[in-house]
Structure 1
Amino acid sequence: MAPDDQPGTLIDETITSFTGRGADLLVECLVTAGVQVIFGLPGDTGVMFYDALAQRTGDVRHVLTRDERHAAIMADAYARATNEVGVVEVSSGGGCTYVIGGLGEAYASGVPVLVISSDIHESSRGSGALTEIDQIALFSAVTKWSARVDVAADIPGLLSEAMAQATTGRPGPVALIIAENVLDEGVSGLDLRSAPGRTTPRVPAHRPVPQVDEVETAAALIADARRPVLYAGSGVHSSGAANELLALAEKLSAPVATSIHGKGAIPETHELSLGVAGNNGGSPPANDALSEADVVLFVGTRANATDTNSFRSPPRSGVEVIHLDIDRSRAGRNYPGSLPLVGDAAATLRELVKKVAGRRTEPPWWTGRAARPEEFPPAPEGMIIPEEVVRQVAAVLGSDMTVVADPGTPTPNVAAYWTCTAPGRSVLIPRGHGPMGWAIPAAVGAALAVPDRPVVGFTADGSFAMASGELETIARLGLPICLIQMTNNSFGWIKMLQHLYAEKRYFGVDPGPIDAVAVAEASGLRALRAHDSEELREALRAFRNAPSPLYVDVTVPHMIDYLPPVPFWRDAVENGGARPVY
């Protein structure tokens, strides 16, 4: 190595050998793979990795977070917004255990995230050392693959395998565990030809298609249908299949519903769009059309109870179901007797478009995305109803932005009332596990993923308390993020369940208030409290004209007084319906 060369830096990209520390080699391989952003915060066992990062700040950006769970959520949102692998770094002990909460959502939602976790010195294993834990066992429940690096020379090959595992088949998190002595280990003249390619691994890594006879069988079912409906999930976004989905829908004149994860699979202003289906934010046109269809084509969705309005939209009998999914274990599993198609969404839909003869379905069996019939009572003084909050944000800021939303009050209202005017994954909502405190860190990941695109995040007071530490991160980075807090001074979703199904015995759902405006201001954001729609619009106009960190607290009526678009709750209020099974 020449005297002026930085340790671990390849001066000439055509050189395939490497000399340096394991930590330098790891960073070199990440840079070679095209990784641009790494989220995390340092711990004892990762000091050498951070030293290596410090020498490559021109090649890869490190985003310092306040909590490992939030770092994982940022990587998750980054991956959703780019279809690339999001990268999070943690250390042994508290770091790797804290990150689990963020990985659970990514695992359940099929999002490619790479966890790099440093570990105790190999010589300390089994000694009860500080921060010692079996990380392979720890990560097993929330990753699809994990490996321990025992020697530095194995880093290129194992990182390549990690990237491939994260993006092949159903995407998901993977973990690479590296002991601190391996990070400090010297390597000399290492062949780098096994390192990941210089293009960042994207989803999908491969585009398999079903057998020809399977596609022909599906095409025949669709061609014979009188009331076909297409149902799109996140797999449409992961595959980049929006054009193919719309082509099939238009060829059939078949309406399209989506899950929350699939929102935006086609423009929701299109005449064939039914909007979101299911029992959380599902529109009546979508649920009704699915319940009346004679053939339903699921595309890249789990088709679980939440997505299908507890298996009522569509029902499990009396309808032909075709389930296209990249994962063989998921295709058709919730609808016995359905036709499974295992393959990439875009590639398979292209084949279906070729095979299906053009046809048109006739009204009035479906009506498109009809106007919602709900008439809400005026909000009490000093409050704004959640639907109005969402609609005002869209009216002032427009739809050319990324939207993130927390569970609870934000999710059904954003799902139902935010309109995606262009195809693509512009709305990010965590429906794998529905973890509270997701939107604030997710906004960071989304903003860094698409730097020229503002982000609006819908959160609530319960979620704010779990994630407010990252407000400082937003301020420090100066990100174009507008956060809207819907405050009802309770854990509103659970309180509503107690109201409907536990005879109004409220318990454990009413924490004390927190002055979110004061906390946001102390963290470096501009913050205010909007008491009515005009004050909200004024704040939004200021953000539109000069996007910079903004926090707006809005008091909303509780769900008990304002029924959100949750079909089962409406059934409970009107007909005494039973609690849904998720």
Structure 2
Amino acid sequence: MRGADILVEMLIGYGVEVIFGVPGDTNVPLYEALQEREGRIRHVMARDERSAGYMADAYGRFTSKPGVFECPSGAGAMYSLPPVAESNSSSVPVILLTIDIPLPGEGRGVLTELDCARLFDPITKMSVQVKAAEKLPEIIRRAFRVACSGKPGAVHLQIPEDMLIAEVDPSRISLHVEKECMEFPAYPTLPAPGVLDELMKLLTSSKRPLIVSGGGVNRSCAGAEVTELAERLNIPVCTTMTGQGTMPDDHRLAVGVIGDNGFHPHANWSLEHADFVLFVGSKMGSVVTIGWTFPKITLNKRVAQIDIDPEIMANNYENVLSVPGDAKLVLRQLIQLVPETADAARTEPWVTELNELRADFWENAESLLTSELTPLRPERAVRSFNEAFDAYGKPALIYSDAGTPTPHMTRFLKLKDPRTRIAIPRAFGGLGSALPATVGAWFADKERRPIGMFGDGSFGMTVGELETLVRLQVPAILLLFNNGTFGWIKGLHRLKGHNQCFGVDFMPPRGQAIAEAFGVKAWTAKNSKELDFALAEAFAYENGPCLIDIHVESIADRVPPVYSWLSKRGKDPLSTKAEEVRYF
């Protein structure tokens, strides 16, 4: 067997259905092996290695399998760095194969020579170079084991081209796979005996308990377990930004999003006034705690933490209890410990108080959500999306870039169908992920419509992937928030008192014209009436990708719902009153 045959057979054995990538000089042997097995595994060509990585990232986020992508040597490997770093820090299982120059060329000035194993080492769970074709099965097994076990993350394999064309005696190798490592979580863990009994006592003895659901809950697909535990004990639930969608937003126990960016004031208030808080699958990092300045009443001694990664336990606060383990598995065990005589009435005054605050917030927000001012307000755009999505009545996989759409979508988006998932890459806040991510989302689950949300800064970085969407006939709905600026950065300039902003403005793209040039169905929306029409048309259109060019007010024109920004403008971020805050 050739090394390339071994590699592809191992991938098929591990249940890999699709591999994303970009062709190059060095990966021709891999493509030959893939072509010979067409029908058993599919290769999806992206137009850029970074885009291929974001496709794999979305696939890993929306399935229980690791996303796999490949790239050629040199620049291809360097272009792959951003998505790998994002996946690894976001605990998304991803495997990157860089097909490199032949081993005999090392140190001899061969074109595209690069020590990729060292390059990716700081941003992966494992980064190794394959130096013998006979080692390929063993290393592939290790790659899946590392990516899917413990805290999931990214793995990088540097495979020299000569390893793919080398002949290997099949009797000297084993192509067996570890079934436990085909999906995440491999080898899920539980805490020591007695720990969950102690946690249940804390939950059932507090009068104002709160559950905070983080990205780890979505990664573990444990939303149903969080919901059941909350209902059995009558405990309100907040989410972090990456935990959004844990439970339906119209649930009486679903308080809202905590943290700095796109927060709900009543949710942050609940975190400050709870007497016991259970964090599930959250690092409790800078966004959630607003740079470790919130809540003002310290969280020390009133926090318990469930997380698959013991290294982050009590990293930022003094936990009253640390519970290591997979969120889904731990919560299932915890639900079994709920006493039959659990007193739901004990927490009802707390739940009622939070729901009153929540109702007050949404009542006051109505003036923003129904505003017909131009340019189109972001809040009004979210209202239009909510209404169109409700009318559509089917689940979706939503991937939003970290830029312009984030604060308003996080605050005002209402997800009612538990089958709908939303992902926002928050580890590094890089732009340019959402458009290619719709490709990965489509291959993750073709029963759920892929939806990508991004600003015009992001659009300019990955516009070439419109061709990929058309070539593959992916029925993605793309929402372009168009205002001709890097809005988040421009807003920071103005927040610091610099109204004459520097290096942040560019020509607004003609989104509809660009999309149509690629063969994408497209509309332009400059007001709510046009947007309502375009959204209805987009959800009804299923013959391929479509794009709505939404001309929207920049977050640099009006302070967005960001806790730290509002504080700097002298406003009370916890107020439930709807107030337009200007920079000047």
TM over 0.5: yes
Q: Helix, strand or coil: the match of 2:20?
A: strand
Whole-angstrom distance in 2 between the partners of 1:561 and 1:22? 57
Structure 1 match to 2:389: 397
Whole-angstrom distance in 1 between the partners of 2:296 and 2:255? 14
Whether contact under 8 Å (2:305, 2:319) holds in the other structure is no
Whether contact under 8 Å (1:232, 1:300) holds in the other structure is yes
Q: CA deviation at 1:470?
A: 0.6
Whether contact under 8 Å (1:316, 1:336) holds in the other structure is no
1:174 aligned onto 2:170: no
1:65 aligned onto 2:41: no
Query: Given the alignment, which residue of 18, 24, 28 partners 1:43?
Result: 24
Structure 1 match to 2:502: 507
Query: Given the alignment, which residue of 241, 244, 256 partners 1:263?
Result: 244
Structure 2 match to 1:367: 354
Whole-angstrom distance in 2 between the partners of 1:323 and 1:384? 41
More deviation, 257-266/365-374 = 365-374
Q: Helix, strand or coil: the match of 2:97?
A: strand
1:488 aligned onto 2:470: no
Structure 2 match to 1:9: none
Q: CA deviation at 1:576?
A: 9.6
Query: Given the alignment, which residue of 522, 544, 569 partners 2:565?
Result: 569
Q: CA deviation at 1:309?
A: 3.4
Whole-angstrom distance in 2 between the partners of 1:136 and 1:356? 48
Whether contact under 8 Å (1:401, 1:453) holds in the other structure is yes
1:534 aligned onto 2:545: no
Q: Helix, strand or coil: the match of 1:363?
A: helix
Whole-angstrom distance in 2 between the partners of 1:439 and 1:300? 23
1:153 aligned onto 2:134: yes
Report the residue type matching 2:410 in the other structure: A
Q: CA deviation at 1:246?
A: 1.6
Render the CA deviation track for 1:176-233: whole Å, top value 9, x for unaligned.
Answer: 1111001000113246645325787211112211112322322222222111100011
- Give the 3 Å change call, closer, same or farther, for CA 378–239 of structure 1 in structure 2: closer
Q: Helix, strand or coil: the match of 1:367?
A: helix
Alignment of 1:318-337 (within 5 A): 320-337=302-319
Q: Helix, strand or coil: the match of 1:44?
A: coil
Q: Helix, strand or coil: the match of 2:129?
A: strand
1:236 aligned onto 2:222: no
Whole-angstrom distance in 2 between the partners of 1:46 and 1:80? 26
Query: Given the alignment, which residue of 431, 435, 441 partners 1:436?
Result: 431
Structure 1 match to 2:409: 414
1:553 aligned onto 2:549: yes
Whole-angstrom distance in 1 between the partners of 2:197 and 2:389? 45
Q: Helix, strand or coil: the match of 1:212?
A: coil
Structure 2 match to 1:304: 285
Whole-angstrom distance in 2 between the partners of 1:333 and 1:143? 21
Q: CA deviation at 1:454?
A: 1.3
Q: Helix, strand or coil: the match of 1:529?
A: strand
Render the CA deviation track for 1:50-81: whole Å, top value 9, x for unaligned.
Answer: 11111111111111101111110000001111
Report the residue type matching 2:416 in the other structure: T
- Give the 3 Å change call, closer, same or farther, for CA 172–249 of structure 1 in structure 2: same
Query: Given the alignment, which residue of 241, 244, 252 partners 2:233?
Result: 252
Whole-angstrom distance in 1 between the partners of 2:248 and 2:17? 30
Whole-angstrom distance in 1 between the partners of 2:299 and 2:61? 34
Report the residue type matching 1:349 in the other structure: L
- Give the 3 Å change call, closer, same or farther, for CA 503–379 of structure 1 in structure 2: farther
- Give the 3 Å change call, closer, same or farther, for CA 346–125 of structure 1 in structure 2: same
- Give the 3 Å change call, closer, same or farther, for CA 350–489 of structure 1 in structure 2: same
Structure 1 match to 2:449: 454
Whether contact under 8 Å (2:301, 2:320) holds in the other structure is no
Whether contact under 8 Å (1:73, 1:442) holds in the other structure is yes
Whole-angstrom distance in 2 between the partners of 1:543 and 1:166? 37
Whether contact under 8 Å (1:412, 1:564) holds in the other structure is yes
Q: CA deviation at 1:260?
A: 1.5
Render the CA deviation track for 1:365-399: whole Å, top value 9, x for unaligned.
Answer: 64234343233394544x32112222212312336
Structure 1 match to 2:579: none
Whole-angstrom distance in 2 between the partners of 1:412 and 1:529? 23
Structure 1 match to 2:202: 221
Q: Helix, strand or coil: the match of 2:256?
A: strand
1:388 aligned onto 2:375: no
- Give the 3 Å change call, closer, same or farther, for CA 531–313 of structure 1 in structure 2: same
Whether contact under 8 Å (1:75, 1:86) holds in the other structure is yes
Report the residue type matching 1:217 in the other structure: E
Q: CA deviation at 1:525?
A: 0.6
Render the CA deviation track for 1:342-385: whole Å, top value 9, x for unaligned.
Answer: 1111221223233344232032564234343233394544x321
Render the CA deviation track for 1:518-565: whole Å, top value 9, x for unaligned.
Answer: 221112211221122222222222222222211111111122433322
1:469 aligned onto 2:464: yes
Report the residue type matching 1:367 in the other structure: L
Whole-angstrom distance in 2 between the partners of 1:87 and 1:315? 44
Whole-angstrom distance in 1 between the partners of 2:179 and 2:327? 26
Structure 2 match to 1:353: 335
Report the residue type matching 1:540 in the other structure: L
Report the residue type matching 2:386 in the other structure: A
Render the CA deviation track for 1:97-130: whole Å, top value 9, x for unaligned.
Answer: 1100111111110000000111111111111211
Whole-angstrom distance in 2 between the partners of 1:507 and 1:92? 37
- Give the 3 Å change call, closer, same or farther, for CA 336–364 of structure 1 in structure 2: closer
Render the CA deviation track for 1:281-301: whole Å, top value 9, x for unaligned.
Answer: 111121111111111100001
Report the residue type matching 1:120 in the other structure: I
Whole-angstrom distance in 2 between the partners of 1:83 and 1:533? 38
- Give the 3 Å change call, closer, same or farther, for CA 347–364 of structure 1 in structure 2: closer
Whether contact under 8 Å (2:248, 2:416) holds in the other structure is yes
Whole-angstrom distance in 1 between the partners of 2:524 and 2:414? 25
Structure 1 match to 2:298: 316
Report the residue type matching 1:344 in the other structure: D
Q: Which stretches in structure 2 are left out of the alignment for 5+ residues?
A: 574-584
Report the residue type matching 2:79 in the other structure: Y
Whether contact under 8 Å (1:287, 1:309) holds in the other structure is no
Whole-angstrom distance in 2 between the partners of 1:203 and 1:136? 24
Structure 2 match to 1:127: 108
Report the residue type matching 1:436 in the other structure: L
Whole-angstrom distance in 2 between the partners of 1:322 and 1:305? 18
- Give the 3 Å change call, closer, same or farther, for CA 190–387 of structure 1 in structure 2: farther
Structure 2 match to 1:162: 143
Whole-angstrom distance in 2 between the partners of 1:490 and 1:290? 35
Whole-angstrom distance in 2 between the partners of 1:410 and 1:392? 14
Structure 1 match to 2:276: 295
- Give the 3 Å change call, closer, same or farther, for CA 67–190 of structure 1 in structure 2: farther
Q: CA deviation at 1:239?
A: 2.0
Whole-angstrom distance in 2 between the partners of 1:113 and 1:262? 20
Whole-angstrom distance in 1 between the partners of 2:47 and 2:389? 29
Structure 2 match to 1:8: none
- Give the 3 Å change call, closer, same or farther, for CA 188–219 of structure 1 in structure 2: same
Q: Helix, strand or coil: the match of 1:561?
A: coil
Q: CA deviation at 1:171?
A: 0.4
Whether contact under 8 Å (1:527, 1:551) holds in the other structure is yes
Number of corresponding residues: 557
Whether contact under 8 Å (1:39, 1:63) holds in the other structure is yes
Structure 1 match to 2:580: none
Whether contact under 8 Å (2:372, 2:527) holds in the other structure is no
